[in-house]
Amino acid sequence: NAGVTQTPKFRVLKTGQSMTLLCAQDMNHEYMYWYRQDPGMGLRLIHYSVGEGTTAKGEVPDGYNVSRLKKQNFLLGLESAAPSQTSVYFCASRLDRDREKLFFGSGTQLSVL
Amino acid sequence: AQSVSQHNHHVILSEAASLELGCNYSYGGTVNLFWYVQYPGQHLQLLLKYFSGDPLVKGIKGFEAEFIKSKFSFNLRKPSVQWSDTAEYFCAVNAPSSNTGKLIFGQGTTLQVKP
Protein backbone atom coordinates (compact mmCIF):
# COMPACT_ATOMS: atom_id res chain seq x y z
CA ASN A 1 0.00 0.00 0.00
CA ALA A 2 2.04 2.95 -1.32
CA GLY A 3 -0.18 5.81 -0.09
CA VAL A 4 1.18 9.15 -1.28
CA THR A 5 4.39 9.04 -3.28
CA GLN A 6 6.45 12.08 -4.19
CA THR A 7 9.22 12.21 -6.75
CA PRO A 8 11.95 13.28 -6.67
CA LYS A 9 13.02 13.30 -3.02
CA PHE A 10 15.85 15.78 -3.53
CA ARG A 11 16.69 18.25 -6.24
CA VAL A 12 19.09 21.10 -6.77
CA LEU A 13 18.27 23.71 -9.40
CA LYS A 14 19.95 26.80 -10.71
CA THR A 15 18.00 30.03 -10.77
CA GLY A 16 15.82 30.16 -13.85
CA GLN A 17 15.61 26.42 -14.40
CA SER A 18 12.29 24.65 -14.51
CA MET A 19 11.13 21.41 -12.98
CA THR A 20 8.05 19.38 -12.14
CA LEU A 21 7.33 17.61 -8.88
CA LEU A 22 5.09 14.60 -9.12
CA CYS A 23 2.65 13.45 -6.48
CA ALA A 24 0.86 10.15 -6.92
CA GLN A 25 -1.72 8.57 -4.63
CA ASP A 26 -3.27 5.14 -4.92
CA MET A 27 -6.16 5.63 -2.47
CA ASN A 28 -8.69 7.05 -4.94
CA HIS A 29 -8.69 10.35 -3.04
CA GLU A 30 -10.52 13.27 -4.55
CA TYR A 31 -8.66 16.07 -2.82
CA MET A 32 -4.97 16.76 -3.25
CA TYR A 33 -2.74 19.55 -1.94
CA TRP A 34 0.72 20.96 -2.35
CA TYR A 35 2.35 22.60 0.68
CA ARG A 36 5.73 24.11 1.25
CA GLN A 37 7.41 23.96 4.62
CA ASP A 38 9.82 26.64 5.73
CA PRO A 39 11.44 27.13 9.15
CA GLY A 40 9.28 29.20 11.48
CA MET A 41 6.44 29.42 8.97
CA GLY A 42 4.85 26.01 9.22
CA LEU A 43 3.19 24.58 6.15
CA ARG A 44 1.71 26.95 3.63
CA LEU A 45 -0.71 25.85 0.96
CA ILE A 46 0.49 26.48 -2.59
CA HIS A 47 -2.26 24.97 -4.72
CA TYR A 48 -4.91 22.36 -4.29
CA SER A 49 -7.37 20.29 -6.26
CA VAL A 50 -10.82 19.09 -5.34
CA GLY A 51 -11.03 16.62 -8.17
CA GLU A 52 -9.66 15.51 -11.51
CA GLY A 53 -9.33 18.41 -13.90
CA THR A 54 -9.72 21.09 -11.22
CA THR A 55 -7.11 23.22 -9.46
CA ALA A 56 -7.20 26.26 -7.23
CA LYS A 57 -4.77 28.69 -5.63
CA GLY A 58 -3.77 28.42 -2.00
CA GLU A 59 -1.97 30.91 0.22
CA VAL A 60 1.29 31.18 -1.74
CA PRO A 61 0.65 30.29 -5.40
CA ASP A 62 2.99 32.75 -7.13
CA GLY A 63 5.75 31.14 -9.16
CA TYR A 64 4.04 27.75 -9.25
CA ASN A 65 1.62 26.00 -11.55
CA VAL A 66 -0.23 22.74 -11.09
CA SER A 67 -2.16 20.20 -13.10
CA ARG A 68 -4.50 17.36 -12.21
CA LEU A 69 -5.08 15.54 -15.48
CA LYS A 70 -5.52 12.21 -13.76
CA LYS A 71 -7.21 11.68 -10.43
CA GLN A 72 -4.23 9.92 -8.93
CA ASN A 73 -1.61 12.49 -9.94
CA PHE A 74 -1.05 16.09 -8.92
CA LEU A 75 1.88 17.85 -10.55
CA LEU A 76 3.59 20.96 -9.22
CA GLY A 77 5.63 22.97 -11.70
CA LEU A 78 8.21 25.67 -11.27
CA GLU A 79 8.66 27.47 -14.59
CA SER A 80 11.59 29.64 -13.57
CA ALA A 81 13.01 28.68 -10.21
CA ALA A 82 14.09 31.34 -7.73
CA PRO A 83 16.15 31.03 -4.54
CA SER A 84 13.02 31.96 -2.56
CA GLN A 85 11.54 28.66 -3.68
CA THR A 86 14.15 26.71 -1.75
CA SER A 87 11.98 24.69 0.58
CA VAL A 88 10.62 21.30 1.46
CA TYR A 89 7.51 20.48 -0.54
CA PHE A 90 4.84 18.16 0.73
CA CYS A 91 1.98 16.66 -1.18
CA ALA A 92 -1.11 15.49 0.66
CA SER A 93 -4.42 13.90 -0.20
CA ARG A 94 -7.71 13.14 1.45
CA LEU A 95 -10.80 11.19 0.49
CA ASP A 96 -13.45 13.45 1.99
CA ARG A 97 -13.30 17.23 2.24
CA ASP A 98 -14.38 17.41 5.85
CA ARG A 99 -13.65 14.54 8.06
CA GLU A 100 -10.84 12.44 6.77
CA LYS A 101 -7.32 13.14 7.78
CA LEU A 102 -4.67 14.24 5.32
CA PHE A 103 -2.23 11.63 4.08
CA PHE A 104 1.17 13.17 3.45
CA GLY A 105 3.97 12.20 1.14
CA SER A 106 7.53 12.03 2.41
CA GLY A 107 8.51 15.37 0.95
CA THR A 108 10.80 16.82 -1.70
CA GLN A 109 13.75 18.89 -0.60
CA LEU A 110 14.43 21.52 -3.26
CA SER A 111 17.38 23.88 -3.30
CA VAL A 112 17.59 26.71 -5.81
CA LEU A 113 21.04 28.20 -6.16
CA ALA B 1 -9.48 34.41 6.18
CA GLN B 2 -8.64 31.62 8.52
CA SER B 3 -5.39 31.67 10.45
CA VAL B 4 -3.75 29.55 13.08
CA SER B 5 -1.32 30.79 15.69
CA GLN B 6 0.94 28.63 17.82
CA HIS B 7 2.30 30.49 20.80
CA ASN B 8 5.44 28.53 21.47
CA HIS B 9 8.02 28.22 18.75
CA HIS B 10 10.60 26.20 20.65
CA VAL B 11 10.00 24.26 23.84
CA ILE B 12 12.64 22.38 25.80
CA LEU B 13 11.56 19.92 28.50
CA SER B 14 13.09 17.19 30.57
CA GLU B 15 11.67 13.69 30.41
CA ALA B 16 8.59 13.19 32.59
CA ALA B 17 7.71 16.88 32.50
CA SER B 18 4.22 17.87 31.48
CA LEU B 19 3.58 19.46 28.12
CA GLU B 20 1.09 22.02 26.91
CA LEU B 21 1.34 23.59 23.48
CA GLY B 22 -0.93 26.48 22.68
CA CYS B 23 -2.97 26.85 19.51
CA ASN B 24 -5.46 29.56 18.64
CA TYR B 25 -7.36 29.96 15.42
CA SER B 26 -9.36 32.72 13.86
CA TYR B 27 -12.55 31.71 12.15
CA GLY B 28 -16.08 32.44 13.20
CA GLY B 29 -17.80 29.36 11.86
CA THR B 30 -17.65 25.64 12.46
CA VAL B 31 -14.18 24.20 12.28
CA ASN B 32 -12.42 20.89 12.36
CA LEU B 33 -9.18 20.93 14.33
CA PHE B 34 -6.07 18.82 14.08
CA TRP B 35 -2.68 18.31 15.61
CA TYR B 36 0.02 16.82 13.42
CA VAL B 37 3.50 15.69 14.44
CA GLN B 38 6.64 15.55 12.36
CA TYR B 39 9.45 13.44 13.77
CA PRO B 40 12.98 14.24 12.57
CA GLY B 41 13.39 13.23 8.95
CA GLN B 42 9.82 12.04 8.57
CA HIS B 43 6.63 13.39 7.09
CA LEU B 44 3.65 14.66 9.02
CA GLN B 45 1.46 12.25 10.92
CA LEU B 46 -1.91 12.86 12.52
CA LEU B 47 -1.83 12.97 16.33
CA LEU B 48 -5.48 13.72 16.96
CA LYS B 49 -8.48 15.50 15.55
CA TYR B 50 -11.64 17.20 16.71
CA PHE B 51 -14.81 17.38 14.65
CA SER B 52 -17.62 17.56 17.17
CA GLY B 53 -18.81 16.16 20.50
CA ASP B 54 -16.61 15.85 23.58
CA PRO B 55 -14.22 18.80 23.47
CA LEU B 56 -11.49 16.73 25.12
CA VAL B 57 -10.03 14.45 22.50
CA LYS B 58 -7.42 11.77 22.96
CA GLY B 59 -4.88 10.87 20.35
CA ILE B 60 -2.01 8.51 19.90
CA LYS B 61 0.96 8.16 22.23
CA GLY B 62 -0.81 9.65 25.25
CA PHE B 63 -1.53 13.05 23.72
CA GLU B 64 -4.78 14.86 24.25
CA ALA B 65 -6.21 18.22 23.27
CA GLU B 66 -9.04 20.37 24.51
CA PHE B 67 -11.23 22.47 22.28
CA ILE B 68 -12.45 25.63 24.01
CA LYS B 69 -14.80 27.31 21.61
CA SER B 70 -15.09 30.55 23.55
CA LYS B 71 -11.33 30.99 23.42
CA PHE B 72 -10.88 29.72 19.85
CA SER B 73 -8.23 27.42 21.26
CA PHE B 74 -7.16 23.82 20.79
CA ASN B 75 -4.22 23.23 23.10
CA LEU B 76 -2.22 20.03 23.04
CA ARG B 77 -1.23 18.32 26.27
CA LYS B 78 0.69 15.33 27.52
CA PRO B 79 1.13 14.59 31.23
CA SER B 80 4.61 13.11 30.96
CA VAL B 81 6.81 13.53 27.88
CA GLN B 82 9.41 11.08 26.67
CA TRP B 83 12.62 11.61 24.75
CA SER B 84 10.89 10.04 21.73
CA ASP B 85 8.39 12.92 21.69
CA THR B 86 11.10 15.20 20.32
CA ALA B 87 9.53 16.49 17.13
CA GLU B 88 7.80 19.41 15.51
CA TYR B 89 4.12 19.85 16.25
CA PHE B 90 1.62 21.58 14.02
CA CYS B 91 -1.88 22.72 14.79
CA ALA B 92 -4.24 22.95 11.81
CA VAL B 93 -7.79 24.02 11.11
CA ASN B 94 -10.24 23.20 8.38
CA ALA B 95 -13.48 25.01 7.70
CA PRO B 96 -16.02 22.49 6.38
CA SER B 97 -18.15 25.23 4.83
CA SER B 98 -15.34 26.21 2.49
CA ASN B 99 -15.92 23.06 0.42
CA THR B 100 -12.23 22.76 -0.27
CA GLY B 101 -11.03 20.47 2.49
CA LYS B 102 -7.86 22.48 2.79
CA LEU B 103 -6.03 22.68 6.08
CA ILE B 104 -4.46 25.87 7.34
CA PHE B 105 -1.45 25.17 9.51
CA GLY B 106 0.16 27.07 12.34
CA GLN B 107 3.83 27.95 12.32
CA GLY B 108 4.79 24.87 14.25
CA THR B 109 6.36 24.25 17.65
CA THR B 110 9.65 22.44 17.99
CA LEU B 111 9.72 20.26 21.08
CA GLN B 112 13.03 19.06 22.41
CA VAL B 113 12.93 16.55 25.24
CA LYS B 114 16.13 16.06 27.17
CA PRO B 115 16.77 12.55 28.51
- With CA atoms as reference, the chain B residue closest to A59 would be B104
B2-34 burial by CB neighbour count: b if 16+ within 10 A, else e? bebebbbeebebeeeeebebebbbebeeebbbb
Q: Which of B89, B41, B37, B45 is nearest to A10 (CA)?
A: B41
**DSSP annotation of A102:** P
A42 to chain B: which residues are within 8 Å by CB?
A: 4, 6, 90, 105-108
**Between chains, do A97 and B101 touch, taking CB under 8 Å as contact?**
yes
pLDDT tens digits, A59-94:
899 999 999 999 999 999 999 999 999 999 999 998
Residue A113 pLDDT exceeds 90? yes
Contact present, A67 and A53 (Cβ < 8 Å): no
pLDDT tens digits, B100-115:
778 889 999 999 999 8
Instruction: Name which of A45, A48, A104 is nearest B43 (Cβ-Cβ).
Output: A104
| Side-chain-facing half-sphere of A87: CA atoms under 13 Å | 24
Among residues of chain B, what percentage have pLDDT more than 70?
Answer: 96
- At residue B99 the predicted structure's pLDDT band, cuts being 50, 70 and 90, is low
Q: How long a stretch of residues is chain B?
A: 115
**Between chains, do B45 and A98 touch, taking CB under 8 Å as contact?**
no
- Label residue A38 exposed, middle or buried (CB < 10 Å: 0-12, 13-18, 19+): middle
pLDDT tens digits, B15-64:
999 999 999 999 878 888 999 999 988 888 899 999 889 999 999 999 99
For residue B80, the tally of other CB atoms under 10 A from its CB is: 12
Provide the 3-class DSSP secondary structure of residue B70.
Answer: helix
Among residues of chain B, what percentage have pLDDT more than 90?
Answer: 71
